[in-house]
Amino acid sequence: MRGRLWSTWWWLGLGLGLGCEPVVGAPDDGSTGTTAGATAETELPSETTGPPSDTSADVDSTSTGGLGEDEALCVQWCLNAEARGCAEGFHDEDCYTRCLARLEPTGGCDAENRAVLECEAQAGPPATPICESLECEDAYKHDDLCRGWCAHLDGYPGTSASPTTCEWRSTCYGHEFEARCPANDAMGVCTCTSDGQEIAQCEAGVEYGSFDCGIEEEVHVLTTCCGEAFEGVLFP
């Protein structure tokens, strides 16, 4: 694993200018160029020589030089994705670029998204099939509550609509949430269920059109008036 980790660090370092320190020039006194604290056997990585032949050397994955916060986080995330045993697609040569794209401001849930990456960058093995970690469950929950439905750790959404009723549902961290609200009635009462049991009722507050149910407004199960009740289940 160390060898693979060095290889990953090498292509990241090469592209970002990391790990490629300039070689000190020969002194004017005609000496061999060996300086205090260094030996002639020291092999520095460069574009021409490549990484040291001893690929078992320890790599300090937290050493990110003078990078900005986003760049440093993505270097650490990609290195840790490999160390945790994530599938190849999560730590290949495009990992760093994709990570930076995930950190681009969207105007919503940016803080929650960063918290997820920061947690995953420090998490230990093993990784889930999609490179997530059970250690980051709380960060995932906050991200999902912001976005409106459970997308992490095998979560998925669903919805259905009729002339009179709107329904939203999602699998969430071992629970099945469902919100059922009347269409065309902002004052109507929504029913909130968790694992098939009614846990709350609330006023819709929004007039959902027949067969529409706020889809254009990206309404999801956790952004209905049932969201607060479901949050109480996620964070008892």
Predicted confidence (pLDDT) at residue 162 exceeds the cutoff of 60: yes
Q: Return the number of other C-beta atoms located less than 10 Å from residue 85's C-beta.
A: 13
- pLDDT over threshold 50, residue 38: no
Q: Does 225 lie in the same domain as 180?
A: yes
Contact between residue 94 and residue 51 where contact means Cβ atoms under 8 Å apart? no
Rg (CA), the chain: 25
Q: What whole-number distance in Å separates Cα of residue 171 and Cα of residue 178? A: 9
On whether the CB atoms of residues 76 and 64 are closer than 8 A, the answer is yes
User: According to the model, what pLDDT value does residue 55 have?
Assistant: 27
User: Is the same domain home to 81 and 161?
Assistant: no
Asked if residue 193 has pLDDT above 50, the reply is: yes
- Taking 80 as the threshold, does the pLDDT of residue 19 lie above it? no
Range of the domain at 212: 156-234
Domain end, chosen from 147, 164, 187, is at 147
Residue 202 shares a structural domain with residue 229: yes
Same domain membership, residue 76 and residue 175: no
Kindly state whether residues 142 and 161 are assigned to the same domain: no
- Are residue 204 and residue 226 in the same domain, yes or no? yes
Both 109 and 196 in one domain: the answer is no
Do 109 and 210 lie in one domain? The reply is no
Which residues, in sequence order, are CB contacts of 68 under 8 Å at separation 6+? none
Residue 86 contacts residue 131 (beta carbons within 8 Å): yes
Dihedral sign, CA of 223, 221, 102, 127?
positive
167 shares a domain with 140: no
What does the alpha-carbon distance between residue 146 and residue 69 come to, in Å, rounded to a whole number? 23
Q: Which helix (H) or strand (E) holds 200?
A: strand 197-203
Per-residue pLDDT at 209: 86
Kindly state whether residues 88 and 167 are assigned to the same domain.
no
Contact between 143 and 153 under an 8 Å Cβ cutoff? The reply is no
Mean pLDDT along residues 171-185:
94
Same domain, 7 and 110: yes
Evaluate whether residue 37 is within a structural domain: no
Indicate whether 46 belongs to any domain: no
DSSP helix/strand/coil, 157: strand
Position 66 scores a pLDDT of 65
pLDDT at 173: 95
Q: How many helices (H) and strands (E) does the chain have?
A: 6, 5
What's the domain count of the chain? 2
pTM of the model: 0.71
Judgement on whether residues 117 and 212 belong to the same structural domain of the protein:
no
Q: Which amino acid, one-letter code, is at 101? A: A
Domain stops at, among 101, 119, 147: 147
Q: What is the mean pLDDT of the chain?
A: 78
Domain membership flag for residue 23: no
Residue partners of 95: CB distance under 8 A and separation at least 6: 74, 77, 78, 81
